[in-house]
Amino acid sequence: MSAKALRLALLGTCLLSSPALAQGATAATEAPAAVAPAAAFSLAPLPYAYDALEPLVDAETMRIHHGRHHQAYVNNLNAFLAATPGLAGKSLLDLHQETSKHPAVLRNNAGGHYNHTLFWELMAPKGQGGEPSAVLMAQINKDFGSMEAFKTAFQAAGAQRFGSGWAWLVWDGAKLVVTSTPNQDNPLMDDAPVKGAPIIANDVWEHAYYLKHQSNRGAYLTTWWEVVNWNEVNRLFDAARQ
Ligand code: MN3
């Protein structure tokens, strides 16, 4: 291949891949730097050490997931906001209420930032996450029959999500509902088919479990309960019903 042909081939690769990079989760190191004078959003540190969830969630997965994937959503969201008039000053929840009016880059990266911020808080080192409150247990028993039946439904939602996405427990205003979303969508978005206040969320993208569980998403889903932060789940449930 001549030097000119090689340059053209590389240019073609860049052109083809750039839209995916702008929306994607897996290209953190190539994410555009935030260009806003003051970035609208920032990545908070994890509320525990990278290895705090070992051996259930390994430190390397946490380091990559938080430091690269989540950082990329933040960077891409800030870059989009800086380039889009009329969105300055909007909160993350404001942006969720108008995702259907904007390009997918907003949906994917606002969702990615919200979902992961929630996800980190919903986990705690084994033995430190507390227990479901009596009021939450009563509601789970009412809506699902038992805690085991709820967990089975939640795991099924995660297992049946084809490709990448999330499993959710949401409060819809009257009852608890299990659902799942594709990509970085979530039940707060204006066009979500099942809406509600997120109570529990599990990331079923392969990047959340592949280093430890490889293709066995089911093993990740069934062992993940051991690192659930029920104290935060209880708080979200109480807040959702205010
Ligand atoms: Mn993720």
Residue-wise pLDDT tens digits, 124-133 = 999 999 999 9
Compute, in angstroms, the gap from residue 111 CA to the centroid of ligand 1. Answer: 11
The pLDDT of residue 39: 83
Q: How far is the CA of 115 from the centre of ligand 1 (A)?
A: 8
What pLDDT shows up at residue 214?
Answer: 86
pLDDT > 90: percent of the chain: 79
In the reported structure, the alpha carbon of residue 65 is separated from the centroid of ligand 1 by a whole-number distance in angstroms of 6
What confidence score (pLDDT) does residue 175 get? 98
* pLDDT tens-place string over residues 182-217: 999 999 999 999 999 999 999 999 999 988 888 899
CA of 128 to the centre of ligand 1 (A): 22
Compute, in angstroms, the gap from residue 6 CA to the centroid of ligand 1: 35
Phi–psi pair at 241, nearest 5 degrees: -95, 5
C-alpha span between 138 and 146 (Å, rounded): 9
Q: What's the confidence (pLDDT) of residue 239?
A: 98
The segments of the chain whose pLDDT lies below 50 read 1-30, 35-36
CA of 190 to the centre of ligand 1 (A): 21
Give the single-character DSSP code of 127: T
Rounded Cα distance between 223 and 198, Å, is: 21
Instruction: Say what the pLDDT of residue 38 is.
Output: 72
DSSP 174: S
The whole-angstrom distance between residue 141's C-alpha and the CA centroid of its chain comes to 27
Q: How far is the CA of 161 from the centre of ligand 1 (A)?
A: 14
Instruction: State how far the Cα of 232 lies from the Cα of 229, in Å rounded to an integer.
Output: 6
Q: How far is the CA of 112 from the centre of ligand 1 (A)?
A: 7
3-class secondary structure per residue, 6-73: HHHHHHHHHHHHHHHHHHCCCCHHHCCCCCCCCCCCCCCCCCCCCCCCCCCCCHHHHHHHHHHHHHHH
Global confidence as pTM: 0.83
Residue 78 alpha carbon to ligand 1 centre in Å:
18
| Centroid of ligand 1 to alpha carbon of 205 (angstroms) | 6
Q: How far apart are CA 43 and CA 74, in angstroms?
A: 7
Report pLDDT for 14.
27
Say how many Å lie between the CA of residue 123 and the centre of ligand 1: 13
Ordered domains of the chain (ranges, CATH): 1-43+55-242 (3.55.40.20)
C-alpha 203 to ligand 1 mean position (Å) = 6
The whole-number pLDDT of residue 37 equals 54
